[in-house]
Amino acid sequence: EDQNKKSPKRKIVLLMAYSGKGYHGMQRNVGSSQFKTIEDDLVSALVQSGCIPENHGEDMKKMSFQRCARTDKGVSAAGQIVSLKVRLIDDILEKINNHLPSHIRILGLKRVTGGFNSKNKCDARTYSYMLPTFAFAHKDHDVQEEVYRLDKETLEKVNKLLACYKGTHNFHNFTSQKGPKDPSAKRYIMEMYCGEPFVRENIEFAVIKVKGQSFMMHQIRKMIGLVIAIVKGYAAESIIERSWGEEKVDVPKAPGLGLVLERVHFEKYNRRFGNDGLHEPLEWTEEEEKIAVFKEQHIYPTIINTEREEKSMANWLNTLSIHDFNSSAV
């Protein structure tokens, strides 16, 4: 206790990994305890380990808390970053992790400048989306079950469509609560592609990677949902171009299960402060191994097992026929 009170408060960032199943996203909703979030468990561990006083748990502004990305309900992360002021106690990471469930881990810590804000200083975010490849099986002439295997031509088509998203576009149709005239609906996508398929437990999966400056709620799931609808033969390729126009387009939202926040990028901050002799660049090469192990132990098995048990992708694919891809959405 005494040591805790004497420890100076410092601005740090924590590198976090978590499996989001069963949580209502990352961001804490103070006052609504029935929806458990990742931050509820994190704040409780910070208080119990003695890094922050108890009253900072109730009012997160007191510790200048900021997350890099608000992940949605059920979404996981392998490289989430939060910035906050803590007492730098001995064995801080071990103590915090002792109070966290095994599916939430703090994998790294770095000191940052006093005015650092992980959300504002982050200049790009990379997400991955792991899905069973039968999501790309054509509705009329492919088998729709887990025995489906993705062929080279279909993968090329998927990648051609995903590449259409690169650049700056008006994504108002890919989120709720934003109109076509809202300037914040314009977003910049740096890369988006689907990797080679692989088989786990007799189901073939593939991983889509997307790197962008920032994303709106549901945006990535809708970007992927629309490509699936085109590849399966429910919608014409021209719908992507149309969705950036002013009219309202019915864009289906793929399940949250496969979405993972892979890493967040601080290129500008690193150039300015990374080598100033006082601060380290916010890069996590030494933690890569721990991140990979966490994904293998907690994230991928959860996605695979949930897919097998709850069939979230298969059930969602059955709803695609209800969408009207031709007329403007009402």
Work out whether the CA dihedral 45, 50, 52, 57 comes out positive or negative.
positive
**Strand (E) positions, 202-306?**
203-212, 259-265
Rounded Cα–Cα distance for residues 38 and 319 (Å): 30
- CA dist 218 and 222 (Å) reads 6
Bridge partners of residue 83, in order along the sequence = 13, 66
The DSSP result for 152-199, as a single string, is HHHHHHHHHHHHTT-EEEE-GGGSSS--TT-GGGEEEEEEEEE---EE
Instruction: Please tell me the distance from the alpha carbon of residue 298 to that of residue 22, in angstroms, as a whole number.
Output: 13
How would you label 40-55 residue by residue, b for 16+ Cβ within 10 Å and e otherwise? bbbbebbbbbbbbeee
Kind plus residue range of the DSSP H or E element containing 308: helix 300-310
The torsion angles phi and psi of 205, rounded to 5 degrees, stand at -120, 160
The active-site residue out of 72, 123, 151, 250 is 72
How far apart are the C-alpha atoms of 163 and 207, rounded to whole Å?
Answer: 15
Nearest to 57 by CA among 39, 74, 81, 71: 39
DSSP 25-62: -SS--TT-TTS--HHHHHHHHHHHHTSS-HHHHH-GGG
Catalytic (active site) residue 276: no
Amino acid type, 240: I
- 127 marked as part of a ligand binding site: yes
CA 254/CA 227 separation, integer angstroms:
10
Binding-site annotation, residues for substrate: 127
Binding-site annotation, residues: 127
Would you please indicate which residues are annotated as catalytic (active-site) residues? 72
